[in-house]
Amino acid sequence: MVDSPFSFGEAYVPPAPFPGQSKQMDDPSLKCLPGGVIRSSVHGNSHADTTTFDHYCEFVRGQIAAGSSVRMKRLEVWHQEFVFGFITTLEAKVSDGQIVEKTFTNMGSHHHGEYQKTVIELAEDEHIVRVTGRSGTILDRVEFQSDMGTSWTCGGSGGAEFKLLAPEGKQLLCFGGGQNGHIHFLYGYFK
């Protein structure tokens, strides 16, 4: 463990480099994580055709900096033997009480034919605190558990097991990852 570069004073374990990279590509932005937000390790692999997404950098960071509280409201997972994609809705409560919602669609192009769609609607006081799954060259399976004990399983049985456990008292805020035909790799942000 190294001392935290953030003002909240927690010890911080730097995340693993993104797949296919020899150094951490996000080192400069780690200092930008306000309010105790921690990024998990990365699971899966990058490919020559991978395009990346990061809900924290695209929406959450600015909302937290503006004093808003942010939570995951809804998550839709498209899957079969692999995870094809996510549709994620985040909700920010701004300081004047107004609600701002942002929906991200991170969908691979290989979801032809039959697939399953698992919809996770979180109650206002419910949060995802555990994300586990299996990954190899792509994300094979992902499982979610809420702090109310509800769980959801999406995908197949290939790959090696991984765990994204929320540090005590923290919850899953949003995702980042890589995609093309499927979800290639995934990481989470916890607050």
> What does the pLDDT look like over 30-74, one tens digit per residue?
334 667 788 888 889 999 999 999 999 899 988 988 888 999 999
pLDDT of residue 165: 67
pLDDT of residue 11: 35
Stretch 114-126: mean pLDDT, rounded? 93
Q: Is the dihedral of CA 68, 59, 54, 130 positive or negative?
A: positive
Percent pLDDT > 90 in the chain is: 60
CATH fold of 40-190: Vitelline Membrane Outer Layer Protein I, subunit A (2.100.10)
In 3D, which of 61, 40, 42 has the Cα closest to residue 166?
40
pLDDT of residue 4: 28
* Position 14 pLDDT exceeds 60: no
Contact (Cβ atoms closer than 8 angstroms) between residue 40 and residue 189:
yes
Q: Which residue has the higher pLDDT, 24 or 134?
A: 134
Q: Where are the domains of the chain?
A: 40-190
Query: Which residue matches tokens 């990346």?
Result: 52
pTM of the model: 0.80
Q: State the Cα angle at 94 between 92 and 95, rounded to 5°.
A: 150
Stretch 151-165: mean pLDDT, rounded? 92
pLDDT band, residue 123 (cuts 50/70/90): very high
Assign 63 to helix, strand or coil: helix
Sheet holding 99-107: strands in order across?
99-107, 83-93, 69-79, 116-121
Give the helix/strand (H/E) hosting 62: helix 61-65
Q: Is 97 left (phi over 0), alpha (psi -120 to 50) or beta?
A: left
Q: What are the residues whose beta carbons fall under 8 Å from the beta carbon of 29, sequence distance 6 or more?
A: 57
Assign 78 to helix, strand or coil: strand
